[in-house]
Chain A
Amino acid sequence: MANSKLYKGSLVTIILKLLNESDKMYGYEITQKVKELTKGELKITEGALYPALHKLEAEGLLEVEVKKVDNRLRKYYKLTEKGNKETVSKLQELQDYIKTMQVLVNPKLSLE
């Protein structure tokens, strides 16, 4: 699962969902949180995470805050109002997708 391409389409939804559950997060924290929640099953790669965060920021779904932590600057991301609305719609989209996939891969189960 670690290198699976399956999660790539859901990366934005994962980021939005995590930020929705906490006030603000920084890049490294997001990678660690996903690792922790999925018990290491899913690893967000650095090369995919930052482009996704920067895209969401440019689209106005995220806003940033910078703080000095220890001896370095840390950039935090948090959801904007537009980002909150997008989270709801993206989560719904993902749930619908999971249901559809369920029908395809396990038709018996989905009919019950």
Chain B
Amino acid sequence: MNISKDQIEDLYKFTRQHFVEHFDLQTELVDHLANDIETIWVEQPNLSYIEARDKAFKKFGIFGFMDVVSQRQKAMGKRYNKYLWQEFKQWVTFPKLLITLSIFFGFYTLLSFSFASYVLGITFGLIFIWCLFKSILLKRQFKRRKTVSKKKWMLEEIIFKQAGVSGLILISQFPSLFRFLDELFLSQVMIIVWSSTITLFIIWMYVSFEYLPKKAEDLLKETYPEFSL
């Protein structure tokens, strides 16, 4: 006996009820459960669909799909970091390296003056506001995409909702660091450290909040062959 189209729909609903929110993982689990139900029916043809479904689900253990979901999230986070790193590397190699160096020397010059602490404060303030603005914008965009497609993909959620969150947390700690900057002039070493930190931070935030969301369609197609189906 083969599983019907309605039962497939029910299996999607069943995975959602068991905290599998993303379509990519739902699809894989639905196919697994469907295959197992069909095998169970060969051995026990008298079992109802619900009984067979519950029997198949029991094989996932007492935590159900939870472990599969959390491990999948870990693996997808790794994938996202790979994309992030791939792009980041471009900025430290030619030709984008020229832009990176320009940002670095720009800050190096500005931080050599007596108003260095103001430059730092204003820079981090601006980065923070921009990141916050982009983060809200991306979250809205994600919501719209979800409403249109009626599907939620794990990588898509990471790109649009979790992008640069760690950066935002890091930057929110800046005021406590700023209190220690009471000297008018920064030492040569500190100028280099701050200029490099700001430069790398700007690139990291740009890649997370601007570049990867713009490339989302390509990345999703590359990650999920079913995305274009």
Interface residues on A, range: 20 to 34
Measured between beta carbons, the chain A residues less than 8 angstroms from B87 are none
Choose from A26, A47, A54 the contact partner of B63 (Cβ within 8 Å). Answer: A47
Question: What chain B residues lie within 8 Å of A45 (beta carbons)?
Answer: 59-61
Q: Nearest-CB distance from A58 to chain B (Å)?
A: 4
Q: Which residues in B have their C-beta under 8 angstroms from that of A54? A: 71-72, 75-76
Task: Name A44-100 residues within 8 Å CB distance of B.
Answer: 45-47, 50-51, 54-55, 57-59, 64-66, 68-75
**Least CB separation from A43: chain B residue:** B59
Shortest CB-to-CB span from A76 to chain B, Å, is 9
**20 other A-B residue contacts (CB within 8 Å) besides A32-B39, A45-B60, A71-B4:** A26-B31, A27-B32, A46-B32, A46-B61, A47-B61, A47-B67, A47-B68, A50-B72, A55-B75, A59-B78, A65-B225, A66-B225, A68-B229, A70-B3, A71-B3, A72-B3, A72-B31, A73-B226, A73-B229, A74-B31
User: Could you tell me which A residues sit within 8 Å of B by CB distance?
Assistant: 26-28, 32, 45-47, 50-51, 54-55, 57-59, 64-66, 68-75
**Please, could you name 15 A-B residue pairs with CB atoms under 8 Å apart, sorted by A?**
A27-B31, A28-B35, A45-B61, A47-B60, A47-B67, A50-B29, A51-B68, A54-B76, A55-B71, A58-B76, A59-B78, A66-B27, A72-B34, A73-B30, A75-B226
